[in-house]
Chains A and B, each alone.
Chain A
Amino acid sequence: MNKIAKLFVTFISAITLALVSFTSSFAKVEGEYIVLGSAISLTGKYSSNGVHTQNGYNMAVDRINKMGGVEVQGKKYKFEIIYYDDESNPKRAAQLAERLIKQDGVHYMLGPYSSGLTKAIAPVTEKYKIPMVEANGASRSLFTKGYKYLFAVLSPANQYLEVAIDLAVEKNGGKGVKIAQAFEQDAFSQDVRLGILDAAKRTGSEIIIDDKLPKELNDMAATLAKVKAVKPDVLVVSGHTKGALTAIRQISEMKVDVPMLAMTHCDAAKLSKQHGKKSEFALCASQWHKNLSYKDKFFGSGKKYAKDFQKEFGYDPPYQSAESSAALLVFKDAFERANSFDRDAVRDALVDTEMQTFYGNIKFGPGGQNVAKPMILFQVRCKGDDCENRVVAPTKWASDKFYHPIPKWSERS
């Protein structure tokens, strides 16, 4: 009996193995479906942004499929995505990328959420020569490694707050300014910091406080006390959502007066909702805003996208969702121009991408980063207790004038 059972198990596993290896060689395009793969953070510390990313992908897949799909060699195909949960863990993400490629036979990848996880996956996709269009890894180091199969629809991290320094200098009559900065010690925030260092050098500005916040830190009181003592022209803070929330909480509580405050991750942190009026006048870097005037035929305008997204998922789309949707538009465009499912042909088509989407213009630089889209800055403005983000730079899209300097706390109600 035991022997028979063993034999049976062996037999079944042999068949399964055979089936797996058989299907995988065709899995890149199954019937009328083009199969894309993505490891994404559905649990763990990045899960909220992971879900925003997934919603963005799904929204675009539905829309493209509904509007006729992707046409390759005269035949219409639809997109389908295989997702795995990477648990916000880089090691797991790399394993899952291998699994998607080797077991599921995926030949085209969509990126995960965050620079850290994209960094973990990129070597894998590169090794197997799998084109990956990613929408949520902005760290500059992703684009300096010479990756040939990595394409990012977003602007690199060092561009996030450079514009803010330019604005400050402009307000100072073209003279250099005094900058105080506090950045978390992670790949992304440190890249933002490098951008500021460049901008400071370019404009002749001086950095008078340069704090690096440990990841575990949730108290910035010491940094802010220093800021109060030295009175800079600009305070720059980047430390993901925790950094943004901590900064506003303690700046308002400690009554730190600075003429200008620039940050990242304001919308992901729901800053204006959680802190209300206290967050007013904060300047925030963003990849995208629904009021920008970019257009495409799938989503129409940013406003239209926001409306449809709201209808589908019940919340206003953060830029993480918008850029993720854009990644699918890029893939569709590349497949159609390549007119083939050959990975290298698709890769070459991606290199030549030059298009406009509702999210912005997309053209890839030599490192794979998007060089056609500027970052935007918005400023939190409040009417009573109702606060919203208004675009103030670049001037082309500005809906509001940049409010400068920030009134002192003693003058704020």
Chain B
Amino acid sequence: MDFLIFKAPMLMVQASLDGILLGILFALIAYGMALQWGVMNIINIAQGDLVILGGYIAYTIYLWGIHPAWGVIISPILMFFVGWGLYKLVINKVVDRDLFISILATFGIAIVFQQLMNFIFGADVVVAQSEYGTTMLFDNSVTLPNSKIFSAFISVLYAIALVIYMKKSKLGRAIRATAQNARAAKILGVDTEKVYAATFGINAALCGIAGALISITLTLHPYVGLPYTVRSFMIVIVAGLGNLPAVAVSGMGLGLFEEFADYILGTEFRIGAVFLLLVLILVYRRFKLSKKREYLK
């Protein structure tokens, strides 16, 4: 019983696909975190709460009778302004301080967001229905919800778009320049204040997309943001800040790790295993990240 997964090979396929599809979604959230961490040196504890807020935006349009998949367009637009506003209101005061201050500040934001969402949307667990159906493989022994496939596809699409944008556009280049050396960028005429605000906005927009996807694949609740923060934090820790493909790989790896931990160690140790891995990796890296500032390439 313990190692059911080795007796039924189809379970292996199922677990791998589930893990990869979920991992891609996590990677998108983690990419946002890596971006602003790299540019602004801020660890955003409110990352998961931004995701959930994005989800609630999609849920709201679902309640209005619009298909929740439109959330992947509407939610990031709104969330960009939420992020921009947050930067102007709070983050710009902590952006040059040490990491601890920014963690405290974003932790505060997280609490405020949770309570606000609870106040506005209520404490009920909600889901939006995509009605996308299911893809069945291998004579119905492996089933993949199309909503999960859709969300992985959208995540990849946005990630590619963002990479191109960062490489080609003026703002993208300014962001990368600021990440490499904020002072030098400033001297050369980059409005770093604007770059920071835009970066935080882009991060929030990525969270918005992820949230909209979560509303149709998983469940929403004002207080479930933290696990997303922790997972994206972990993916970034594993991948490093400057390495986008590594973020994608580590996202999928984490998804796979979680699924297999479920089968092999048992469901109760699934999240525990993820945390254990985090500790191991942190020890391995000896907190390299906090000492050496990495940047986006």
List chain A positions with a Cβ less than 8 A from chain B: 43-49, 182, 185, 208, 211-214, 216-219, 221-223, 225-226, 228-230, 240-242, 245-246, 249-250, 253-255, 269-270, 274-276
Beta-carbon contact of A182 and B271 below 8 Å: no
Please indicate the chain B residues that have their CB under 8 angstroms from the CB of A249 in the complex: 127, 218-219
Please indicate the chain B residues that have their CB under 8 angstroms from the CB of A222 in the complex: 15, 18, 259, 262-263, 267, 270
Q: Does B249 contact A (CB under 8 A)?
A: no
C-alpha gap A31/B23 in the complex (Å): 64
Beta-carbon contact of B270 and A214 below 8 Å: yes
C-alpha gap A255/B118 in the complex (Å): 32
C-alpha gap A212/B125 in the complex (Å): 20
Check A270/B14 contact, CB under 8 A, given A211-B268, A222-B262, A222-B267: no
C-alpha gap A46/B224 in the complex (Å): 13
Chain B: CB-nearest residue to A254: B143
Return the CB mask of B100-134 against A: 1 if under 8 Å, else 0. 00000000000000010011001111110100001
C-alpha gap A294/B129 in the complex (Å): 38
Beta-carbon contact of B11 and A226 below 8 Å: yes
Check A45/B222 contact, CB under 8 A, given A217-B271, A222-B262, A254-B143: yes
- Give, as a whole number of angstroms, the nearest-CB distance from A317 to chain B: 16
C-alpha gap A228/B8 in the complex (Å): 11
User: Could you show 10 A-B contacts with beta carbons less than 8 Å apart?
Assistant: A43-B119, A45-B221, A45-B223, A185-B268, A218-B227, A225-B15, A246-B219, A254-B143, A255-B140, A276-B129
Beta-carbon contact of A254 and B134 below 8 Å: yes
Please indicate the chain A residues that have their CB under 8 angstroms from the CB of B262 in the complex: 222-223
- Give, as a whole number of angstroms, the nearest-CB distance from B41 to chain A: 28
C-alpha gap A255/B262 in the complex (Å): 20
C-alpha gap A225/B226 in the complex (Å): 26
Q: Does B10 contact A (CB under 8 A)?
A: yes
C-alpha gap A228/B137 in the complex (Å): 14
Beta-carbon contact of B227 and A216 below 8 Å: yes
Among candidates A221, A241, A275, residue contacting B18 with C-beta atoms closer than 8 Å: A221
Please indicate the chain A residues that have their CB under 8 angstroms from the CB of B140 in the complex: 255
Chain A: CB-nearest residue to B221: A242
Q: Does B151 contact A (CB under 8 A)?
A: no
C-alpha gap A226/B262 in the complex (Å): 10
Chain B: CB-nearest residue to A244: B125
C-alpha gap A159/B237 in the complex (Å): 46
Beta-carbon contact of A208 and B1 below 8 Å: yes
C-alpha gap A240/B271 in the complex (Å): 19
Among candidates B8, B119, B218, B267, residue contacting A229 with C-beta atoms closer than 8 Å: B8
Beta-carbon contact of B224 and A214 below 8 Å: no
Check A212/B123 contact, CB under 8 A, given A225-B15, A242-B219, A250-B145: no
Please indicate the chain B residues that have their CB under 8 angstroms from the CB of A219 in the complex: 22, 218
Please indicate the chain B residues that have their CB under 8 angstroms from the CB of A213 in the complex: 267-268
Beta-carbon contact of B4 and A226 below 8 Å: yes
Please indicate the chain A residues that have their CB under 8 angstroms from the CB of B267 in the complex: 182, 211-214, 217, 222-223
C-alpha gap A328/B65 in the complex (Å): 41
Give the interface centre of B119, B126, B219 by most chain A CB atoms within 10 Å: B219
Residues in B12-66 with C-beta less than 8 Å from chain A: 14-15, 18, 22
Please indicate the chain A residues that have their CB under 8 angstroms from the CB of B125 in the complex: 240-242, 245, 269
Beta-carbon contact of A216 and B226 below 8 Å: yes
Please indicate the chain A residues that have their CB under 8 angstroms from the CB of B90 in the complex: none
List chain B positions with a Cβ less than 8 A from chain A: 1, 4, 8, 10-11, 14-15, 18, 22, 115, 118-119, 122-127, 129, 134, 136, 140-141, 143, 145, 147-148, 218-219, 221-224, 226-227, 259, 262-263, 266-268, 270-272
- Give, as a whole number of angstroms, the nearest-CB distance from B258 to chain A: 8
Beta-carbon contact of A270 and B123 below 8 Å: no
Please indicate the chain B residues that have their CB under 8 angstroms from the CB of A46 in the complex: 123
Beta-carbon contact of A211 and B227 below 8 Å: no
Please indicate the chain B residues that have their CB under 8 angstroms from the CB of A253 in the complex: 134, 143, 145, 147-148
- Give, as a whole number of angstroms, the nearest-CB distance from A214 to chain B: 4
Instruction: Please list the 5 inter-chain residue pairs (A to B) with the smallest Cβ-Cβ separation, ordered nearest first.
Output: A253-B145, A212-B268, A222-B262, A211-B267, A47-B123
C-alpha gap A217/B222 in the complex (Å): 14
Known interface pairs A45-B118, A221-B14, A222-B270; 14 further A-B residue pairs with C-beta atoms within 8 A, sorted by A's residue number: A45-B123, A47-B122, A212-B266, A221-B259, A222-B15, A222-B267, A223-B262, A245-B127, A245-B219, A246-B219, A255-B136, A274-B127, A275-B127, A276-B129
C-alpha gap A223/B11 in the complex (Å): 11
Chain B: CB-nearest residue to A213: B267
Beta-carbon contact of A48 and B122 below 8 Å: yes
C-alpha gap A222/B270 in the complex (Å): 10
Check A255/B271 contact, CB under 8 A, given A242-B125, A269-B125: no
C-alpha gap A364/B110 in the complex (Å): 44
- Give, as a whole number of angstroms, the nearest-CB distance from B11 to chain A: 6
Chain A: CB-nearest residue to B126: A274
Please indicate the chain B residues that have their CB under 8 angstroms from the CB of A225 in the complex: 11, 14-15, 18
C-alpha gap A343/B15 in the complex (Å): 59
C-alpha gap A245/B219 in the complex (Å): 7
Please indicate the chain A residues that have their CB under 8 angstroms from the CB of B123 in the complex: 44-49
Beta-carbon contact of A47 and B118 below 8 Å: yes
Check A254/B145 contact, CB under 8 A, given A47-B123, A218-B224, A245-B219: yes
Please indicate the chain B residues that have their CB under 8 angstroms from the CB of A47 in the complex: 118, 122-123
Please indicate the chain B residues that have their CB under 8 angstroms from the CB of A45 in the complex: 118, 123, 221-223
- Give, as a whole number of angstroms, the nearest-CB distance from B57 to chain A: 18
Give the interface centre of B119, B223, B267 by most chain A CB atoms within 10 Å: B267
Please indicate the chain A residues that have their CB under 8 angstroms from the CB of B122 in the complex: 47-48
- Give, as a whole number of angstroms, the nearest-CB distance from B104 to chain A: 21
Please indicate the chain A residues that have their CB under 8 angstroms from the CB of B15 in the complex: 222, 225
Give the interface centre of A47, A48, A226 by most chain B CB atoms within 10 Å: A226
Please indicate the chain B residues that have their CB under 8 angstroms from the CB of A276 in the complex: 129
Please indicate the chain B residues that have their CB under 8 angstroms from the CB of A229 in the complex: 4, 8, 10-11
Give the interface centre of A49, A253, A275 by most chain B CB atoms within 10 Å: A253
- Give, as a whole number of angstroms, the nearest-CB distance from A264 to chain B: 13
Chain B: CB-nearest residue to A230: B4
Please indicate the chain A residues that have their CB under 8 angstroms from the CB of B118 in the complex: 43-45, 47
Chain A: CB-nearest residue to B255: A219
Chain B: CB-nearest residue to A212: B268
Beta-carbon contact of B134 and A255 below 8 Å: yes
